[in-house]
Amino acid sequence: MTERRLSPETLAAQALGHVDGATGALIPSIHPSTTYERDADTGYSRGRVYARADNPTFDTPADLLTRLEGGAESLLFSSGMAAATAVFLALAPGDHVLAPRVMYWALRGWLLDFATRWGIEVELVDTSDLDALAAAVRPGRTRLIWLETPANPTWEVADIAAVADIARAAGARLAVDSTVATPVLTRPLELGADLVMHSATKYLNGHTDVVAGTLTCAQRDDSWARIAAVQRQNGAILGPFEAWLLQRGMRTLYPRLRWQCASAAALAERLAAHPRVAEVLYPGLASHPGHAIARRQMQGGFGGMLSVRVAGGREAAIATAARVRLWTRATSLGGVESLIEHRASIEGPTSPVPDDLLRLSVGLESAEDLWDDLATALG
Ligand SMILES: *Cc1c(COP(=O)(O)O)cnc(C)c1O
């Protein structure tokens, strides 16, 4: 190849294209070893000491993600929650952080409970309202702004570049949960974010068979070193088998996501015209409040996630989900099979989610089959 930078599709398909020097194997090996041989002079000339700190099986998925995100380094965690909470645990008690009002519910719960009791001052704001966000920032005290875009489960869109300006002016760092956008659609570090987080359980792995999380940094600075220490010391690491499955899943990320975007967009249009649907929430629809920013910030699609507010309220929504045959009633998202979920009943009474909302994760089935099933279930 020439010097031209390879496309992300190529990097992902070949998982960076390394061939094992000793065996010629195209596929990286799984290394279950927990420990590494020490030199006679007490050193570790081969660089690895103990598998809580690192494992060669992490290298391919971590390095591939770093390239896809355009970052400096990535770490793999035992779950998306382990990755996200490591960012907050690397702060100090007394630090002020801003997080979205609408966000992944388990992380919101952890911030309001554990992180708050631990001494972090958590303030929830409407992160799609830049004036509100700028007003909530406390220069010198706000250490971190956390964004999720598009945000679960109403798919509100935050303007990463504009929030990065606000964060930089206040001396705060910006972290983005980009689980739903993936590097296929949005590269937060190029828009000025310091950190990007994924629940790799979702699109990165994509096959509903690994729980994993990732963080990627723009720069390997002191703050990144603290996050890496939290991971290492708390042991929030991925297992070697899961890391291996993750690199396998990531190879098909681009074609999977593009197919899912196309199907989600087609379903959103058709659902919006259905008489039993009160509202469709999808950033690709011109009616969505985040559409204009999404058009700028998301390249080549608006994601594979959408939500439907069913006419007739909570009971009608639950009855619709009860009637599907092809979609599966289950939580989670980003897999090859399509899932449907009544969101309010899993998030509980403190949830800001409307109780007539069904969240749809669009898989790789035929969009026509998915539509027929939904249209029948809506009645
Ligand atoms: C699932 C999810 C998480 C949490 O990830 P786990 O891998 O389940 O721990 C965080 N953010 C978003 C947007 C998610 O969908």
Amino acid at 311: A
Output the six-digit token pair for 201: 């359980």
Long-range contacts of 325-333 (CB under 8 A, 24+ apart): 325/373, 325/376, 325/377, 326/365, 326/369, 326/370, 326/372, 326/373, 327/360, 327/370, 327/373, 327/374, 327/377, 332/201, 332/202, 332/208, 332/361, 333/180, 333/202, 333/203, 333/304, 333/305, 333/359, 333/361
- In whole angstroms, what is the distance from residue 200 CA to residue 229 CA? 21
Ligand 1 pocket (Cβ < 6 Å) reads 79-81, 104, 107, 148, 152, 177, 179-180, 199, 201-202, 211, 213, 333
Q: Which residue has the least CA distance to atom 5 on ligand 1?
A: 80
80: CA distance to ligand 1 center in Å?
5
Q: Which residue has the least CA distance to atom 8 on ligand 1?
A: 80
Residues 210 and 242: beta-carbon distance below 8 Å: yes
Q: Is the pLDDT of residue 310 over 70?
A: yes
Q: Which residue has the least CA distance to atom 11 on ligand 1?
A: 104
The torsion region of residue 334 among left (phi > 0), alpha (psi -120 to 50) and beta comes to: left
Pairing of strands 195-199, 213-217: antiparallel
The number of the ligand 1 atom at minimal distance from the alpha carbon of 332 is 1
Q: Is the pLDDT of residue 2 over 70?
A: no
Question: Is 20 one of the annotated active-site residues of the chain?
Answer: no
| Nearest CA among 243, 256, 285, 254 for reference residue 268 | 285
Average pLDDT on 171-192 reads 98
- In whole angstroms, what is the distance from residue 196 CA to residue 178 CA? 6
What per-residue confidence (pLDDT) applies to 282?
A: 98
Q: Which residue has the least CA distance to atom 12 on ligand 1?
A: 104
Question: Is 203 one of the annotated active-site residues of the chain?
Answer: no
Element (H, E) at 375: helix 367-378
81: CA distance to ligand 1 center in Å?
6
85: CA distance to ligand 1 center in Å?
11
DSSP one-letter string for 347-368: H-TT--S-TTEEEEE--SS-HH
| Nearest CA among 98, 103, 268 for reference residue 166 | 98
DSSP one-letter string for 301-321: ---SEEEEEETTHHHHHHHHH
Q: How far is CA 105 from CA 31, 102, 119, in A?
A: 34, 8, 20
Q: Is the peptide bond before 283 cis (omega within 30 degrees of 0)?
A: no
Average pLDDT on 110-136 reads 97
Domains in the chain with CATH codes? 8-250 (3.40.640.10), 253-378 (3.90.1150.10)
**Quick one: what percent of the chain has pLDDT higher than 70?**
99
| Nearest CA among 242, 247, 233 for reference residue 86 | 233
* Coil, strand or helix at 97: strand
35: CA distance to ligand 1 center in Å?
30
- In whole angstroms, what is the distance from residue 194 CA to residue 180 CA? 18
Q: Which residue has the least CA distance to atom 7 on ligand 1?
A: 80
Q: How far is CA 73 from CA 64, 68, 195, 210, in A?
A: 10, 11, 10, 21
| Nearest CA among 333, 270, 257 for reference residue 298 | 257
- In whole angstroms, what is the distance from residue 290 CA to residue 304 CA? 16
DSSP state at residue 216: E
pLDDT tens digits, 83-104: 999 999 999 999 999 999 999 9
What per-residue confidence (pLDDT) applies to 347?
A: 87
- In whole angstroms, what is the distance from residue 351 CA to residue 341 CA? 15
pTM for this structure? 0.97
pLDDT tens digits, 329-366: 999 999 999 999 999 999 888 888 999 999 999 999 99
Q: How far is CA 254 from the centre of its chain?
A: 15
Q: Is the pLDDT of residue 159 over 80?
A: yes
DSSP state at residue 28: P
Q: Band of the pLDDT at 236, cuts 50, 70, 90?
A: very high
**Which residue in 108, 143, 173, 202 is the catalytic one?**
202
Q: Is the pLDDT of residue 3 over 70?
A: no
Residues 197 and 79: beta-carbon distance below 8 Å: no
